[in-house]
Amino acid sequence: MANKKKEKPIEIDLGGVVRTNGQEVFDDKEKIIELEKKQLGNSEVKQIQTSAPTYKPKNWYQQISLTANNLWVNINNVWNKFINANGTTTYTATGAGFKDEDNMASDSAVATASQQSIKKYVDNSGLWEVEGAENQLKTADESDMQTKKIINVVDPTADQEVATKKYVDDEVAKPFTLTVSDNLQQSADTERSFTNASYALKKEIQIYIDGNVRIKFDLDFVSGGFSRARIYINDIAIGTERTVGSGGYQTFSQDFICDKGDKIQLYAFQGGGGTGKIRNFRIYYDKAQIADTVVNTD
């Protein structure tokens, strides 16, 4: 049986020696083990305090104190509760060793931050935000992958969704053709005035996929005898000649078969002197995928 010398707050130094105010309380190792296991109901140790220590430690081994319910640590002569009797941590001190700052203003390299302050700081940073039922992450800044890959990306279904290299390569490799529609795909809308007495190039759009397209343009007569315009392809007159002999824009439309690389052009001239105008030179089509193979004879 160990001999109890004093009934004062019991402290445990980091080496596992039980002391009070610098004096050994127990020299029996079994009692130390009992104390470390928190078996505090034994008669030999029942005089242990139930609240925080009140003395100011003078030696290094007086910085830790064990009471009936808690483990205490002294920081700058302030006793801070670290561990409950059930083993849960309860450090709620303030000062150099613990910070509860939502903005992390002290920028300490050694202090512990509270759970609440860490969460608030991250939430307020705005760099990452969890949004929606799918827990999407939003970022307010650029994402630098540091030579790392983004993996498991699904094929895109909208214009602003990311695509993998393989998806892009596969799409580029697919054969496509153009089909006539009223869906505007390209335009040269600037209004141009002209006075030349013979056909001259006024607008041009180059096409890079084979297929059928619809061409529209506006023609206006300002003064003189008449204004005339016509569609050319690669500087060869192809379209129907259009003539306007009175004021006000008129819109003309015609469908054409085009080859990859063709230059679709709008030529115009003014007859009988005076001035003509053109505008809204536009191409309409849809893009359709061509089958890789076709059965000719089954």
pLDDT, tens only, 11-25:
444 334 444 444 444
Last residue of a domain, one of 84, 102, 131: 84
Residue 136 lies in a domain: no
| Domain that residue 283 falls in | 178-289
| Tokens 């100011």, residue located | 56
State the pTM of this model.
0.47
Tell me what the mean pLDDT of segment 44-49 comes to. 38
More confident: 240 or 153: 240
Last residue of a domain, one of 29, 57, 84: 84
Element (H, E) at 250: strand 250-258
SS3 43: helix
Residue 232 lies in a domain: yes
Same domain, 285 and 182: yes
227 confidence band (pLDDT: 50, 70, 90): very high
Q: Where are the beta strands (DSSP E) in 132-210?
A: 136-139, 176-188, 192-194, 200-206
Residue 104 lies in a domain: no
Q: Examine the pLDDT at 258 and tell me if it is beyond 80.
A: yes
Q: Examine the pLDDT at 241 and tell me if it is beyond 90.
A: yes
Last residue of a domain, one of 84, 105, 138: 84
Residue 224 lies in a domain: yes
More confident: 189 or 167: 189
Residue 242 lies in a domain: yes
Residue 163 lies in a domain: no
Q: Are 285 and 213 in contact (CB under 8 A)?
A: yes
Tell me what the mean pLDDT of segment 70-97 comes to. 61
Residue 133 lies in a domain: no
Same domain, 80 and 182: no
Residue 246 lies in a domain: yes
Tell me what the mean pLDDT of segment 218-246 comes to. 95
pLDDT, tens only, 96-117:
566 777 777 877 776 777 777 8
Helices (H) and strands (E) in the chain, counts: 3, 18
N- to C-terminal Cα separation, the chain: 103
| Burial status of residue 63 (CB atoms within 10 A of its CB: 0-12, 13-18, 19 or more) | middle
